[in-house]
A and B are shown apart, each in its own frame.
Chain A
Amino acid sequence: MSLYLSKGTIELQSAPSIKSFAAAVGKKEGEGPLKNSFDYIADDITLGGKSFEKSEGLLQQNALRLALKKGELSESDISFSFAGDLLNQCTGSSYGLREFSFPYIGIYGACSNMAETLALAALFIDNGIGTNAVAITSSHFCAAERQYRFPLNYGGVRTATSQWTVTGAGCAIVAAHDKPPYVKSLTFGSITDMGVKDANNMGAAMAGAAYETISAHLANTGQSIDSFDYIITGDLGEVGSKLLYDLFNRDNIPIKEKHKDCGTMIYDLNQQNVNSGGSGCGCSASVLCGYILQELAQGKMKNVLFTATGALLSPTMTHQGETIPCIAHAVQLTDN
């Protein structure tokens, strides 16, 4: 049974297990520092799909099939699936998963999707609703680029603060308490708008939301950062990470010592031409389901606060001159 602690924070008293997990990524991500952590690296960015939107769906399918296989599960064992991506109307998920017959719950939290889907899946399992719940999230560089920015062959200038959308998908299957990693507690964040308008500086826009959610989780669960091996944010990038330190410094919390960011972990920032780092739902999804969960399963990490951040903007709202509302959701993962 889940215990409601305080604003947004829930303790999962049964500590459900993440029974199986898998990450599928594109070529560029497969050449980065985490290349050995991923279960599948696509040589061809299209994955054989006729459009990049379809390619993203195929990437999700790959992650899902691998996670099912690793957990020795079949399609019929799945009680619920929670899925999300970056495309309009969540088509990466709905077209990717349309051939599967298990219940499908599409959600949208931009790049916070991995934490949001995982939190919901764990909540269902903790309360005995279903046996296996899938959390799956993806993004695709080419599909995101054409929706949010420019045609791929266009020579538009990328600014130093911009981030590179990860081509990747992560899938985690949550089941009743068994082997680690476990989902201990979670915090759903509130929408936070720091007044940032620049869609090419998403890390700066999202740092405030990450600060709010991490602070809330620590306060509501009565923990300090010392309890954790790492506090891992989704895709703040280099710029957003520095801003997160600034915000915590005001509270005299040296979070820098404990902090990692999926956006700066997945690429070699000096070599891979990604400016401030990686972004997109697939960034935190593939780093979580490829690297972090693996480390937890092997006991190399013991207590981690996974906080995926999302910029809830759209090109339409950006053109209307609006600021960027952001969100962060946190999931506390442990090995015991």
Chain B
Amino acid sequence: MEYLWAFVVGGLLCVVGQLLIDYTKLTTARILTLFAVLGVILGAVGVYTPLVELAGAGATVPLTGFGYLLAEGVKTAVAEQGLLGALTGGLTAASGGIAAVIIFALLAGVIFKPADRQ
């Protein structure tokens, strides 16, 4: 069941993105940004946690999940450190993913050449 929910919820979040692409003139960069920001807001108001409990990776893997991760990080850090936590919490929680992306992109850039598209 959990796999089914992951599939359905993850798929539906992507459908929302696809509808934005098809019906608005939003560029992909704007859509990705919108998703991440929306994830922070949904996390902040407490809507996203139940979704994560239901769908697991179906909710955490889409970019809304990245925003949710920041919101959760801030929530914990503010509880522990006060106002400073507002600054440190988000990126601390997301640091693993961000560092991984930077390192892999750098390695790929060093090793590979851009491809022609057919």
Contacts and interface: CB of A to CB of B under 8 A. Distances in A.
B114 interface: yes
Nearest to B25: A198
Nearest to A197: B25
Interface in A42-97: 45, 52
A254 interface: no
Interface in A93-148: 141-142, 145-146
Contact of A152 (B21, B25, B28, B116): B116
Contacts of A28: 118
Interface string B89-118: 000000000000000000000000011111
Contacts of A142: 114, 116-117
A324 to B, nearest CB: 14
A151 interface: yes
Nearest to A31: B118
Nearest to A156: B28
B15 to A, nearest CB: 14
A273 interface: yes
B116 A273 contact: no
Interface residues of A, number: 16
Interface string A190-201: 000000011000
A289 to B, nearest CB: 23
Contact of B115 (A152, A197, A198, A273): A152
Interface in A269-287: 273
A157 B21 contact: yes
Contact of A153 (B21, B25, B114): B114
A273 B118 contact: yes
A198 B26 CA distance: 11
Contacts of A52: 114
A109 B117 CA distance: 26
B117 A157 contact: no
Query: Which of B21, B25, B114 has the most A CB atoms < 10 Å from its CB?
Result: B114
A151 B21 contact: no
Contacts of A273: 118
A166 B25 CA distance: 25
A141 B117 contact: yes
Contacts of A141: 116-117
Contacts of B118: 28, 273
Contact of B114 (A27, A151, A156, A198): A151
Contacts of A197: 25
A176 B28 CA distance: 52
B28 A45 contact: no
- Residue with the highest number of chain A CB atoms closer than 10 Å, among B28, B115, B116: B116
A44 B117 CA distance: 12
In the complex, the 9 A-B pairs of residues with the closest C-beta atoms, listed nearest first: A45-B116, A152-B114, A156-B28, A157-B21, A152-B115, A153-B115, A152-B117, A142-B116, A153-B114
17 contacts: A27-B116, A52-B114, A141-B116, A141-B117, A142-B114, A142-B116, A142-B117, A151-B114, A152-B114, A152-B116, A152-B117, A153-B114, A153-B115, A156-B28, A157-B21, A157-B28, A273-B118
Given A27-B116, A145-B117, A273-B118, 4 more contacts: A142-B116, A142-B117, A152-B117, A156-B28
